[in-house]
Amino acid sequence: MAFWRRISRQMQAATDSVAVAPALPAVERPKSPRSRMMRQYDLVERVRSYNPDTDEDLLNRAYVYAMKAHGTQTRASGDPYFSHPLEVAAILTGLKLDDATIVAALLHDTIEDTEATRAEIDNVFGHEIGALVEGLTKLKRLELVSREAKQAENLRKLLLAIADDVRVLLIKLADRLHNMRTLEFVPHASRRRIAEETLDIYAPLAGRMGMQEMREELEDLSFHTLDPEAYAVVMQRLDALAERNRNLIGEIESQLSKNLQKNGITARVYGRRKQPFSIWTKMERKSVGFEQLSDIYGFRVVMADVESCYRALGVVHTTWPVVPGRFKDYISTPKQNDYRSLHTTVIGPGQQRVELQIRTEEMNQIAEFGIAAHAFYKEGEGSPTERLKHESNAFAWLRHTVGILSESANPEEFLEHTKLELFHDQVFCFTPKGKLIALPRQANVIDFAYAVHTDVGNSAVGCKINGKFAPLSSELQNGDEVEVLTSKAQAAPPSAWESLAVTGKARAAIRRATRTAVRDQYAGLGRRIVDRLFARAKIEYADDKLKGALPRLARASIEDVMASVGRGELKASDVARAMYPDYKEERMVRYGAKRSLADKLKLKSPPHPARSASVIPVRGLNSDLPVKFAPNGGAVPGDRIVGIVSPGEGITIYPIQSPALKDFEEEPERWLDVRWDVDETMPQRFPARILVHNVNEPGSLAQVATVIAEHDGNIDNISMSRRSPDFTELTIDLEVYDLKHLSAIIAQLRAKAVVARVERVNG
């Protein structure tokens, strides 16, 4: 210990000219970074003020180690680099955190920016502190294409570290706060990027953890950088308002306290002005001017217990008129970040609108310090992370978010999900059984369904809001009771839901279900292709036999093999050879030049009995196979059809008379035997195209459209071209039930005097 003190005294002299910012989490940025840097004993005294049992030797060793490790390194401001970790530690003493957190703050840049190693820190300070420092170390030499991908990977690593120990988050937020306080010294090109990242991720993350004061300072510092003109205007208006209402806050505090005392209620009342960024976003959100804002000042009424909170609310509401619609009870229904308070707005002294927050001392601590109010050690109660698992809803949200990591297909998708989860205040809705579901504002029933359970979201087909049927896209309001109607027939949600969902959880689940459904479609197609080849080759197929051949196909499962065949990545013959090494692929018979395409397809004779079992049924676009129809003309039930397999695209169905089939004559391995398998009890529409030569006169197009509509056809697209002064050529894409339906529409069109000719297009 004497050695460390001697070294520290020698090194202290070199840094006496540099300052440390005040320790509280929401303070003014230091105007001049160059003044006296906090001494070693100052740091110890800060910690001792709230923790008399602090390990002075540990703090001293960390102070000296970090100072020595950073050596002559300097920051952009010209300060010794060590001033930065010292500032971070000072901020955390304002949150009254434990010794290990303060030490990790002092050391948090040593692994990344100095010669120090994790093993050395473990050896000197122990595994616990080493793990904290490692969790804060950014990914180095990360070869990623985009800045967004790197940002996402760093956030991913941070959240994983937080799941192990929440103190990582507290240090990281303090680190970001000090970097934002000194952002003016960073090169101009980097300032905007850092401020945007702070506003996008770190400020909302602080808010989600209930650390409101830190969030507000991060937002204001970012606002000052991103839009200095708007920031200056808001501050100018706030200063002018403060000058006009110099005594207003004191008067309101006094009257509130007196009224409560008259009713036997002891309370601590204090007022505060809202922050510039909060005011600016409210002006933007509500499209109002500064003069129209009436709740720039807020007042906190801090009570001894919960019962007193409700008694105080009664006094306030019977003393002054209440502003309708401005009461919220976050005590009975806490926010997800553990925030609890009663909110109300009244017309107070001098006809001034007064916004009140009524809460207990414990609630006030959590409102100011959030997750940090739970995080430091209490004797006999285990580590901060263990305590948070039982005490903090905010930490539960954090663990849930980390759980999404494994479901994100790529870093950018994870970053998108996390940003969606961080933003917005909440609405509280209920299931029919009374379960409370918290969602971000502007969330809809789709988000609600996935919040209840992923299976509920995937199978949702309708809903009732407060007992009335409503669309699944309906935006939810506070207090709504939502009943989600489900159907087993819907195995996967429509992919279009992804654009409707607001929450990251819903979007991730929809993407996952869509990917699974598409994979299942390709696997189904692949299995049928394999079955067809094995049937024609008269060899036996068995899953058990294929399972033994998986290493030869470099696939992990049978489903992977089938999906690869369906996507065209593997050939069915490759599967056969893997299972039967002596299998020889049947030779494709080359047809003579004089034989027609119809001969090749054997259109004049029925399918061979041995092959009929391998014919693939086609049900339509909603089938369990990846099916689409000929792009220039489609196909409808009643047509004789053939399927063409395209790698990565599934099956394209062509009518046999389609001239496009000539393009595939030299690729017989892509041809599939297919047949219609239409369910007459659930009619579907299929695509077809017709060419109409119409007389060029007023109302002729309307007559064509009327005929199609009257015969239950649906026009999907229409294009027009003038072939002569007297006629217009219409190319119409229709949706019809079958060939009989299409023929009836064509016949009715031919009967019209304004129609010169109608023919079906087979592209």
Q: Which residues are catalytic?
A: 112-113
Backbone phi and psi for residue 443, each to the nearest 5 degrees, phi listed first: -70, 155
* Residues near 652 by beta carbon (within 8 Å), at least 6 away in sequence: 628, 629, 630, 631, 643, 644, 646
User: Mapping DSSP to helix (H, G, I), strand (E, B) and coil, where does residue 690 land?
Assistant: strand
Give the Cα separation of 621 and 733 in Å (integer): 16
> Nearest Cα to 452, choosing from 469, 429, 468?
429
Q: Residue 695's beta-bridge partner residues? A: 727
* Residues near 207 by beta carbon (within 8 Å), at least 6 away in sequence: 215, 337, 422
> Nearest Cα to 156, choosing from 336, 479, 415?
415
Reported as type and span, the H/E element at residue 187 is none
What tokens does 617 get? 């049924």
> Nearest Cα to 446, choosing from 507, 395, 391?
507
Give the Cα separation of 667 and 669 in Å (integer): 5
Q: Position of tokens 């403060």?
A: 242
Give the Cα separation of 225 and 179 in Å (integer): 13
632: Cα separation from own chain's centroid: 38
Give the Cα separation of 93 and 317 in Å (integer): 39
- Extended strands (E) in 588-640: 616-618, 627-629
**β-strand pairing of 616-618 with 674-676:** parallel
CA angle 73, 74, 77 (to 5 degrees): 175
Amino acid, res. 742: L
> Nearest Cα to 394, choosing from 416, 414, 372?
372
Contacts of range 28-34, beta carbons closer than 8 Å, 24 or more positions apart: 29/181, 29/182, 29/221, 30/181, 33/77, 33/78, 33/79, 33/83, 33/182, 33/185, 34/78, 34/79
User: Mapping DSSP to helix (H, G, I), strand (E, B) and coil, where does residue 554 land?
Assistant: coil
- Extended strands (E) in 212-267: none
Give the Cα separation of 691 and 508 in Å (integer): 44
Give the Cα separation of 475 and 198 in Å (integer): 29
* Residues near 498 by beta carbon (within 8 Å), at least 6 away in sequence: 507, 510, 511, 514
**β-strand pairing of 616-618 with 426-430:** unpaired
> Nearest Cα to 130, choosing from 142, 116, 141?
116
Cα dist from 57 to 8, 64, 107, 196, whole Å:
12, 11, 15, 40
What tokens does 212 get? 């409101």
What tokens does 713 get? 């056809």
Report yes or no: 729 and 723 within 8 Å, Cβ to Cβ: yes
Tell me the three-class secondary structure of 6-34, residue by residue: HHHHHHHHHHCCCCCCCCCCCCCCCCCCC
* Residues near 723 by beta carbon (within 8 Å), at least 6 away in sequence: 693, 729
